[in-house]
Structure 1
Amino acid sequence: MMPTLRHARPVASKLPRPGKTVAVENVRPDKEEGVQVKRSPSSPQGGVKKRSAFGDLTNAHKNIHPQKKKDGQKVAVKKTKNASQSGTAKNNELNLKKTLKTITAEELVSEVVKEERLITEETSPPKVCLEQLLPPDVEDIDQDSEDPFSSSEYALDIFSYMREREEKFVLPNYIEMQDDITKEMRSILIDWMVEVQENFELNHETLYLSVKMVDHYLAATVAMREKLQLIGSTAVLIASKFEERCPPCLDDFLYICDDAYRREELVAMEMEILQKLNFDINIPIPYRFLRRYAKCAHANMETLTLARYICELTLQEYDFVQESASKMAASCLLLALKMKCLGGWTATLQYYSGHSANDLIPLVKRLNFLLTEQANSKLTAVRNKYSHKVFFQVAKLPPLDLLMLDTVLTKEQ
């Protein structure tokens, strides 16, 4: 005896009359009461009706009338399988002949698509390539679509949007409102954050974003010097969650602070920083602009690394916090090009950066003076980092002489 299948309901059947043999039918155990049974082609209701993807768009089905049986005429039904198939084939052939003169749904949709295409081609303006919109001396640096990471199709809109957001994140002279924090304390904190980024092998974008968050937080609230390292480590934690694929855990940041703070303090500072910044931490940083401007200048990796070294030195200096990210990146690249004798500020660089050479000259002179001062500075994290062979030892390159720099910058005017 077979076990009863689950979810199967008993099927009621008529009792056989005495003396009458009844053919035993195979009862499907999964057939439930109230479920619509699939109709066969030989049933009185007809076979399963086929429907197009867009539904019955025409009235073709109204022209098909089922054949009525005459009174007293019996329909002979053959029980063989071949007979049912031949009857179905005849019915399909009759239906096909009746609908030859009607328009099918697929033909109707195709005609509508053709008409819409013709209307669009007549009314829409001709497509214009980006090369036709650029000035004659400007190169289209986004024409290469082979690299999927360059986002060539959206790069121009992305950096235009980032330049618009720069106006929202202009920093005031917030050090005047801080009673217990000085410029030197901030420089020491940034020097320590550079070491954290190097030890954890974080992205450079994480370092730049964490420094920006420290400045914007100090511009919004008055802090004490005892909490300054807590602010810096928490900013690196938030930036790691924003930039890194696998950010360090919270215990790692407690360890690098030498257990000077508790877990509850770090979590509370994280919430406070995010609330002070209104959870808007997508701050434009010069590191992203620098990569794009180097692509405009066709600079090699060594020249780009030199520009990054100059740009990273500015993170420790409070006097550069009020400069915009795009202008800082353009000035660092221009100084690197002059130090490597690789030309000047081209029309392509001016078009994509939005800054002319005359706008960058004052900042370039300040950056070159910064390179001269860093040789005697006690903050050595950035200089030691870029003195390694991995970074082409760009920190060992001597800065330009002031008179020589004035000469090469005069040609840009």
Structure 2
Amino acid sequence: MPFTRGKKPAASGGKALRQQSAPSTENQEDGSQVKRSSSPPRGAPKKRTAFIDITNAHKVQISLPGRKKEGGKKAVKKTNITSVTAKNQTNLKKSVSSEESTTEREKTDTEEEEEEPQSRLKALVRQIPAHLERKPIPPEFDIDSESADDCYMCPEYAKEIFDYLREREEKFVLSNYMLTHSSLNPEMRAILVDWLVEVQENFELYHETLYLAVKMTDHYLSKASIHREMLQLVGSTAMLIASKFEERSPPCVDDFLYICDDAYKREELISMEASILQTLSFDINIPIPYRFLRRYAKCVSASMDTLTLARYYCEMSLMEMDLVSERGSLLASACLLMALVTKDLGGWSPILQFHSGYQASEVAPVVRKLHLMLQAPADDKLRAVRNKYSHKVFFEVATVPLVDISVLDKALSS
């Protein structure tokens, strides 16, 4: 057993132990534990506690240095029984009167609470800031109450989350930055995105990781000037950062060096990672169209094949330089509208307008850009997205015929 600090008493027999003036205190570590015996075994060292229990402080005598004991005996103060009885009666009267006054005050407080419950409630309501007040959602537009028991869906504030993402989009609006690069062109960027799609498939990464990597690449290229030989390094490093942000188990640095065919060194990739993060001010939570697409598809209860068709259009748009400047929420709206019209499931409904914040006239220009992009002849060098969505896992949506532009114009006008 560990020994506490202090002098070890001489084991001179039971008589010496009985003459000790300092009473022993009981150790009470937990209420559930059994109290240990206060008398130490013969010859054991004396226990010493760091602090004295305040509830037993009046029972403990502390001997201070320089103070002599009178005769080695405790001084006992005799009190008169008559005086104690008189004091007890006085204290009893005081306690009775205090209890009566307390009871009267409680009655008064209860009456006041019963008289003004509504006024107090109104005062509490007025204290809530305006930006924290939840706007009521019409019952016909409520798409979150059905998942009220699913905490992962955040049904209480899902609408507020996507409204916040809509506001955050304004911070990440891009322009055609390719005009500022002398050694890059849109075709090189499309080849890079096509390669990133293959990386996402090979590593079995989330689609959010792919979209975020493309977004970070675009934002970095809009602020930094690089040579064409470093373009693949930028894309693979952006995918590494996005994997760390989105994935549970992201690939390591060596994995990305391998997929680049060892064209870059480990130090170069780590240096590029620091450069991207510093250039973007470590603000990489960029709203992506994929999140909005899943939200808007839930508004119309779209089936999985319809959602996958919209995802195919959205992923194809990643390679188009003309669509880089479009906001993710607007691009997702256009992709879903095209999928709904292709499947003959209607057009832009009021519930989509409520949750997206866009009218059909605002979505129409992006829909026409998407249709023009999909109508163009397929490039044999850029087959990753088409091959991916031609698989049975993705319902072979890449083989679905493209809807006629006249049908789209009719749906947009109605």
Superposition TM-score, scaled by structure 1 size: 0.76
Aligned pairs for 1:252-331 (under 5 A) are 252-331=255-334
Say yes or no: does 1:357 pair with 2:360. yes
Amino acid at match of 1:141: I
Question: Which has the larger helix fraction?
Answer: 2
- 2:151 pairs, out of 145, 148, 151, with 148
CA distance in 2, matches of 1:133, 1:380: 46
Match of 1:79 in 2: none
1:359 CA displacement: 1.2
Say yes or no: does 1:70 pair with 2:79. yes
1:344 CA displacement: 1.4
1:275 CA displacement: 1.2
* Alpha-carbon distance change, 112 to 323 in structure 1, aligned in 2, over 3 angstroms: farther
1:35 CA displacement: 4.8
Q: Name structure 2 gaps, 5 residues minimum.
A: 21-38, 62-76, 83-89
- Paired residues in the alignment total 360
Amino acid at match of 1:213: M
* Alpha-carbon distance change, 124 to 179 in structure 1, aligned in 2, over 3 angstroms: same
1:10 CA displacement: 2.3
Match of 2:174 in 1: 171
Q: Secondary structure at the match of 1:379?
A: coil
* Contact kept in structure 2, 1:293 and 1:349, CA below 8 Å: yes
Per-residue CA deviation, residues 311-347 of structure 1 (Å, 9 max, x unaligned), is 0000011111011111000000001000011111111
Q: Secondary structure at the match of 2:145?
A: coil
* Alpha-carbon distance change, 175 to 31 in structure 1, aligned in 2, over 3 angstroms: same
Amino acid at match of 1:7: T
* Alpha-carbon distance change, 132 to 268 in structure 1, aligned in 2, over 3 angstroms: closer
Match of 1:6 in 2: 3
CA distance in 1, matches of 2:274, 2:135: 49
Amino acid at match of 1:10: K
Per-residue CA deviation, residues 66-91 of structure 1 (Å, 9 max, x unaligned), is xx953599xxxxxxxxxxxxxxxxxx
1:370 CA displacement: 2.2
* Contact kept in structure 2, 1:131 and 1:140, CA below 8 Å: no
Amino acid at match of 1:259: D
Match of 2:28 in 1: none
Match of 2:123 in 1: 123
Per-residue CA deviation, residues 88-137 of structure 1 (Å, 9 max, x unaligned), is xxxxxx99997566459x9999998995993532534599xx9983457x
- 2:48 pairs, out of 32, 38, 59, with 32
The more displaced of 32-41 and 188-197 is: 32-41
CA distance in 2, matches of 1:360, 1:112: 61
* Alpha-carbon distance change, 37 to 163 in structure 1, aligned in 2, over 3 angstroms: closer
* Contact kept in structure 2, 1:172 and 1:322, CA below 8 Å: yes
CA distance in 2, matches of 1:13, 1:103: 56
CA distance in 1, matches of 2:174, 2:182: 18
1:307 CA displacement: 0.5
Aligned pairs for 1:5-404 (under 5 A) are 5-10=2-7, 23=18, 26-27=39-40, 29=45, 31-32=47-48, 35-36=51-52, 43=59, 69-71=78-80, 99=95, 102=98, 115=113, 118=117, 120-125=120-125, 133-134=136-137, 138-144=140-146, 145-373=148-376, 375=378, 377-404=380-407
Superposition TM-score, scaled by structure 2 size: 0.76
Per-residue CA deviation, residues 353-399 of structure 1 (Å, 9 max, x unaligned), is 01001111222122123222254553110011111111111111000
* Contact kept in structure 2, 1:235 and 1:270, CA below 8 Å: yes
* Contact kept in structure 1, 2:141 and 2:354, CA below 8 Å: no
Q: Name structure 1 gaps, 5 residues minimum.
A: 46-67, 74-93
* Contact kept in structure 2, 1:9 and 1:33, CA below 8 Å: no
Q: Aligned Cα RMSD in Å? A: 3.8
* Contact kept in structure 1, 2:9 and 2:45, CA below 8 Å: no
Amino acid at match of 1:191: D
* Alpha-carbon distance change, 101 to 345 in structure 1, aligned in 2, over 3 angstroms: farther
